[in-house]
Amino acid sequence: MSDKLILSYDVGTSYLKTSLVDSKFNIIGTKLDKYPIYFPKKGYVEQDSLDWWNAIVKTTNKLVMEEKVDVSKIAALTFGGQALCTVLINKDGEPLMRSIIWMDTRAADQAKKAVGGGLIKIGGYDLFSMLTFLRITGGGPGLAGKDHLPRILWLKENMPDIYRDTYKLLDTNGFIIYKMTGNIVMSKFDAHLTWMMDTHPGKHNWSEKILKKYGIDKEKLPEIRASTDIAGKLTKEAADELNLQEDTPVMVGSGDVAAVAVGSAAVKEKEYFVYIGTSDFMGTHTKERKVDISHYMGSVCSAIPDMYLYTGEQETAGTCLDWVKTEVYKNSAEELGEKIYDLLDETAGKISPGSEGLMFTPWLSGEKTPMDDSTIRGGFHNLSLEHTREHTVRAVMEGVAFNIRWAFRCMEKKMGFTTVGRFNTK
């Protein structure tokens, strides 16, 4: 085992994944813990941020104990949490409500009022509002209401007491960092996705113009820091809970998209990556801010200093297969546990490409890229009596793949084609 170790946390939508790696990034051990997602009303999607913390405590303790870790060798803790989650805490650091996660669309009306009003529109967006956002942030909030800015407007209208009592508005990583260090920070990547940050090179601070226009209190926002910065050090209280050493450095980290981009090793310009998890996204690093409003793609601050990440995100990918697992293969899933995925892979392999005409559109929670529409829904098409449940497995996998390809083609047209290894994307 290497002299220096790193504890890495992926605060995902479905699972908390805690990994211990050495200085050469060899994985020594990994622990997972699952937590629930709440759907209290149509369009509302929430999680309890304390569930994230409890999962971190549980998995960290298991990993330290089972791997017999010398905690004095742990050089740092870092994060790659789910992006676009809104966490509100009071002055005592207590969550004021369950976190609003990235799938939530309750603020769609506020988004449409903020960026979709006006007489002159392009792709549903008010021309003058979007020009302001594009000039300052290099992008802008989507019409589906899944961004921090329209959520803040929703809170002010619908839960004014909660907004009034909010001491700080955090994201996923920010809440965990606060629990570990007591410090209030947000990475440049995550701050960019609030669409309230001036993203011009050398600036990367909250935009006074945008905050003033939408009546947002700057004092409720965290300090913006680079992903590679040290956010703080483990407090005694946190160290005792985690069974780690007090004063261990805690990195700022980044949202999952930026973390995956670096982890994919596609760190040069025009090197593309595709990630599939609960959702999916694709991207490439660039030195310039670029945006494609019509396909809801754009550049955000990368986890790599002085670089941007041109990316697009699709709402449901792996979760579509989970739907098949739960609703179509329920009995098998209960019997096999995680091995159900081996069965689904084997099942899909027995069906010929094209699923004998059965098609699946994977829009189970609306879509973002290459169309921004929170109301669109997925489904099976061309279903006939000849099709079996085995066909649905293959159709779902193909539907997700073709949806990615649709978005990826838009990205290639904007960023240019490239050759990576023996694969030419043309």
Angle at 92 between CA 91 and CA 97, to 5 degrees: 85
Model-wide pTM > 0.75: yes
Instruction: Identify whether residues 205 and 286 lie together within a single domain.
Output: no
The answer on 104 and 46 residing in a single domain is yes
76: β partners: 6
Co-location of 247 and 392 in the same domain: no
pLDDT at 400: 97
Considering the domain architecture, whether residues 210 and 105 belong to the same structural domain is answered as yes
CA distance linking residue 390 with residue 186, whole number of Å: 45
pLDDT band at 425 (very low <50, low <70, confident <90, very high): very low
Q: What is the pLDDT of residue 418?
A: 64
* 422: pLDDT strictly greater than 80: no
Residue 123's pLDDT is 67
- Band the pLDDT of 421: cuts 50, 70, 90: very low
Inform me whether the pLDDT recorded for 426 exceeds 50. Answer: no
For residue 2, the model assigns a pLDDT of: 55
- Structural domain count of the chain: 2
Indicate whether 238 belongs to any domain.
yes
Mean pLDDT of 33-40: 96
> What's the CATH code of the domain at 18?
3.30.420.40
Query: Which domain covers residue 403, as residue numbers?
Result: 265-416
C-alpha–C-alpha distance, residues 347 and 33, integer Å: 27
User: Domain check: are 311 and 219 in the same one?
Assistant: no
Q: Is residue 76 part of a domain?
A: yes
DSSP, residue by residue, 142-195: -TTS-SHHHHHHHHHHH-HHHHHH-SEEE-HHHHHHHHHHS--EEEHHHHHTTT
Do 71 and 134 fall into the same domain? yes
Same domain? 215 vs 297: no
Question: Considering the domain boundaries, does residue 22 fall inside one?
Answer: yes
Token pair of 179 as six digits: 């629990």
- 149: number of Cβ within 10 Å: 25
* Domain assignment present for 141: yes
Residue with tokens 């579509």: 320
Q: How far apart are CA 353 and CA 315, in angstroms?
A: 24
| 299 CB-near residues (< 8 Å, 6+ apart) | 138, 139, 286, 288, 289, 290, 291, 308, 309, 310, 311
In a domain, 425, yes or no: no
288-315 tens-digit pLDDT: 888 887 888 988 999 998 899 999 989 9
Tens digits of per-residue pLDDT, 226-265? Answer: 999 999 999 999 999 999 999 999 999 999 889 989 989 9
- Tens digits of per-residue pLDDT, 58-69? 999 999 999 999
CA 15 to chain centre: 13
Residues 284 and 404 in one domain: yes
What band does 1 get if pLDDT is binned at 50, 70 and 90?
very low
Q: Do 189 and 312 fall into the same domain?
A: no
**Digit-coded pLDDT (tens) for 102-139:** 999 999 999 998 888 777 777 677 788 888 998 999 88
| Domain-terminating residue out of 263, 291, 319 | 263
Mean pLDDT of the chain: 92
Other Cβ atoms less than 10 A from the Cβ of 114: the count is 23
Q: Are 65 and 31 in contact (CB under 8 A)?
A: no
Same-domain check for residues 198 and 285: no
Stated length of the chain:
426
Task: Establish if 424 belongs to a structural domain.
Answer: no
